[in-house]
Homo-oligomer: A and B are copies of this chain.
Amino acid sequence: MSAFSRLRLDGVSRRFGGQAALTELDLTIEAGEFIALLGPSGCGKSTALNCLAGLLPLTAGSIWQDERRIDTLPPERRGFGMVFQSYALFPHLTVRANIAFGLRMRRLPKEETRRRTAEALRLVRLEEHVDKLPGQLSGGQQQRVAIARAVVFEPSLVLMDEPLSNLDAKLRLEMRTEIRRLHQSLGLTTVYVTHDQEEALSLADRLVVLREGRVQQVGSPRELHTRPANWHVADFMGYRNLWRGRVTRVDDAVVTAESAGQRLLGEAVGDLRTGAEAVLAVRPEDIRVDGAGETRNALSATVEVVEYQGRELAAEARTDTGLLLHLRTERRIAPGDQVKLAVDPRRLLVYPDGPAHRPEDQGATR
């Protein structure tokens, strides 16, 4: 299967009946990149991946591999590898036969097939399990078979659809490292679908955030982490504190906004004018509890709920004016404690809020 230097999605769209699952996806993937598609459930991630794989015909747009149009090719002729969310291992074939399947389909010589299968088995450390059926493997082992099967024929592009979602926390962590290692050691190009932002951040070179079938933001993990393009993305990227408010003052990028009677300084993301409705976003870990000496964005609040999370505590606190804050701290606090909180204005992002895009169940209503 010919390698490529660039894969281009051009207005790729897919509708189901009347409903649009994916709208106008434009994306260029360079060879060797690790791209993560990220977004909440039902946002069209799997749809995008299936379109790319050829499992789902497009309803508009085209896909180009260098100068060759490939969206009309059936999946077996695109030469991409795919790891399915549920692994989709062939239950009637042994581990070895599962991995060799793609090579057999390409009618490689027996010897070559054996050699490459053995290599892939070694790569995913399953040498001891070659003759088992998938049903006899643990989840993590199945996972590795699925990955080996997808990469053994050295596809020009590997697609992974939430490959880790079925694993427990410990295994998930281990597999993540494994996938990254494979990507690097085999020099693959990978498109990875997940709804777990931490996973996406830790794995990908570039992230694509989708919402309701539309791209919200494309960028590096750091960009997405520190500067989500709109409050939906922020919400998804772990900005658990989202408050609705109103802009009271604009100084270049620094805006002052008021939410639930609390005046807060923050950094504007997008076009904001005085008087505009806004959404203020801040991560729980960016709210400092030892904010007694702070002058800017200082809040005094009462702790309401505390959750033990190992090293840190997660807590909910309410300011005197009624603003609810989620925060994380290593300080030992207990419900009922009065605390002085502070937020670094550079960590508090202020987004414009149209009446059409209300944060549902969020913000000051809580």
Contact = CB atoms under 8 A, between A and B. Distances in A.
Interface in A298-313: 305, 307-311
Contacts of A314: 202
A108 interface: no
A54 B198 CA distance: 39
A356 interface: no
Given A202-B307, A308-B221, A309-B198, A40 B170 contact: yes
A346 interface: no
Contact of A309 (B138, B202, B235, B236): B202
Interface stretch (A14-22, A95-103, A174-182, A336-344): A174-182
B180 A168 contact: no
Contacts of A139: 41
A116 interface: no
A181 B168 CA distance: 25
A316 interface: yes
A240 interface: yes
Q: State which size class the interface on A falls in.
A: 35 or more
A246 interface: no
A310 B170 contact: no
Interface string A50-74: 0000000000000000000000000
A168 B222 contact: no
A173 interface: yes
B173 A240 contact: yes
B176 A307 contact: yes
A310 B283 CA distance: 11
Interface in A191-236: 195-198, 201-203, 221-222, 225, 235-236
Contacts of A32: none
A308 B195 contact: no
B180 A195 contact: no
A7 B181 CA distance: 49
Contacts of A240: 170, 173
Contacts of A42: 138
A221 B252 CA distance: 47
Given A139-B41, A181-B305, A310 B169 contact: no
A156 to B, nearest CB: 24
Given A41-B139, A310-B198, A314-B202, A236 B170 contact: yes
B181 A169 contact: no
A40 B138 CA distance: 11
Contacts of A291: none
B169 A195 contact: yes
17 contacts: A41-B138, A41-B139, A41-B168, A42-B138, A168-B196, A169-B195, A169-B196, A176-B307, A177-B305, A180-B305, A180-B307, A201-B309, A202-B308, A203-B307, A221-B310, A225-B310, A225-B311
Interface of A: 40-42, 125, 138-139, 168-170, 173, 176-177, 180-181, 195-198, 201-203, 221-222, 225, 235-236, 238, 240, 285, 305, 307-311, 314, 316, 361
Given A169-B196, A238-B310, 20 more contacts: A40-B168, A40-B170, A41-B139, A42-B138, A168-B195, A169-B198, A170-B235, A170-B238, A173-B240, A180-B305, A197-B310, A201-B307, A201-B309, A201-B310, A202-B309, A222-B308, A225-B308, A225-B310, A225-B311, A285-B311
